[in-house]
Amino acid sequence: MDQLLHEKIIERTLHIALIGLGYVGLPLATTFAAAGFHITGIDVDQQKVDAANRGESYLADISSSTLQALLETKKLHFTSDYAVLDDIDAINICVPTPLSKTRDPDISSIISATQQVRDHLHPGQLIILESTTYPGTTEEVVLPELESTGLKVGIDFFLAFSPERIDPGNPGFDLRTTPKVVGGITHACTELAQEYYGAAIEKVVPVSSASTAEMVKLLENTFRAVNIGLVNEIAIMCEKLRINVWEVIDAAATKPFGFMRFLPGPGLGGHCIPVDPHYLSWKLKTLDYTARFIALAAEINSSMPHYVVDKINEALNEQQRSFNGATVLLLGVAYKRNVSDVRESPALDIISALIQYKSVVMYNDDYVPSLKLEDQVMYSQPLSSGLLQAADCVVIVADHSYYDIPWIVSEARCIVDTRNITQGCVDEKIYRL
């Protein structure tokens, strides 16, 4: 079976299905289609399917022109019908894995997708899970479902895990140029998955098992979460010591070894860094072990939006204003610069706190035309002199590149800058972390 799949990979006749057309699945679909493979994208969201089939990209990193060009080759198609899996050779599962309200892993989408794959499983298929999850998921959750068909892994079908490493908005690295880690259930699974990704991605890094590959992803983002938590606490310490944290970081970064630059901010956002460490922490709790670094980093990082709100309070007090009735304008509500993703964005917590304190809250973000909160919908306001001057406080949450900072500083009454984007602007009305 693996020899036939090998030949199909070499000849580019492998028919691939991508389950989940979000930030992971759609870039993967376009990357493999560009490499000459026949791709079918599957998603339960019919609106995404219809938009993709029209060549209308809903992701900033995938242009509509790129999508349209690939559709014209007839190598790319999108559907919500899982029946297409009957004729598929390789399947990537790229479904979301959020946390539940209790901060426990929610792998219900993985289970649902796996059941669909099971129902259409046939000899000679390669299945790869890409959704971030806790170590052991591929072997303990996905494998038993697939082997319940009577087919055997490594003989009849092949199963592996490969963590997604997409960094939205990063022009330096895309899916093709970012090394891909793969780990299979068996050695044959790993080899086949390595060959599969190698047909479309520049570098593939095999590891000894699926669990190892799952752990790689969690280490990468736990590393970032812990170091961001550290530098956020350093920022708080520096304020108490009346030291400029940004100057400290710049000076420390001149050391050519032993130091890696991390920056403080208003809190963690996106799907990965605020979420992934909790998958590892949850898994270790089942083994009666407490992941202390993860817990402490989460405590510090989750407190940062409230720290920003305290800064806003300080800025308003200097104008003899209170939260109640004050107009606060947020610049950028996405979780980071030049993206449209608001998942876990610290702006959401900041806005909620300001509304609770009875402030009038507005925002500008060209990447996020509307923002849905629990009980209301907000809309991005066009940035103008009038809007800046009307605000009692302007809060820079996402440092989008289109912001004209000198102009904003000249027009605003006071600014709380959480990203140090006003660096170089000397003005008493600027409050930085």
What are the tens digits of pLDDT across the range 378-409? 999 999 999 999 999 999 999 999 999 999 99
Amino acid at 116: Q
Q: Where does 256-291 have alpha helices with state H?
A: 276-285
CA distances 395 to 9, 363, 366, 377, 429, Å, are 51, 9, 16, 20, 12
Give the N- to C-terminal CA distance of the chain in Å, as an integer: 58
Q: Where does 199-255 have alpha helices with state H?
A: 210-240, 245-252
Q: What percent of the chain has pLDDT over 70?
A: 100
Instruction: Sort strands 327-331 and 415-417 into parallel, antiparallel or unpaired.
Output: unpaired
CA distances 340 to 21, 58, 216, 344, 398, Å, are 16, 10, 27, 12, 11
pLDDT at 67: 94
Sequence-separated (6 or more) residues with CB below 8 Å from residue 217: 132, 163, 164, 165, 181, 276
User: Active-site residue 238, yes or no?
Assistant: no
pLDDT band at 100 (very low <50, low <70, confident <90, very high): confident
Q: Does domain 2-208 have CATH number 3.40.50.720?
A: yes
Sequence-separated (6 or more) residues with CB below 8 Å from residue 283: 134, 135, 136
CATH topology classification for 244-432: Rossmann fold (3.40.50)
pLDDT band at 248 (very low <50, low <70, confident <90, very high): very high
Rounded Cα–Cα distance for residues 374 and 347 (Å): 14
| Catalytic one of 238, 272, 393, 414 | 272
Q: What is the DSSP string of 118-141?
A: HHT--TTEEEEE-S---TTHIIII
Residue 426 clears pLDDT 80, i.e. is over it: no
For 151-184, the pLDDT digits (tens) are 999 999 999 999 999 887 777 888 899 999 999 9
pLDDT at 220: 95
pLDDT at 401: 94
CA distances 159 to 58, 104, 266, Å, are 30, 25, 40
* Percent of the chain as helix, strand, coil, to the nearest 5: 40, 15, 45
Q: Which residues of 156-167 are buried (b: 16+ CB within 10 A; e: fewer)?
A: bbbbbbbbbbbb
Average pLDDT on 49-67 reads 92
pLDDT band at 413 (very low <50, low <70, confident <90, very high): very high
Residue 1 clears pLDDT 80, i.e. is over it: no
pLDDT at 61: 82
Q: Where does 90-209 have alpha helices with state H?
A: 108-119, 137, 143-147, 187-198
Average pLDDT on 400-427 reads 93
Q: CB 26: neighbour CB atoms within 10 A?
A: 24
In the chain, where does the domain assigned CATH 3.40.50.720 lie? Answer: 2-208, 244-432
Torsion 27-32-36-40 (CA) sign:
negative
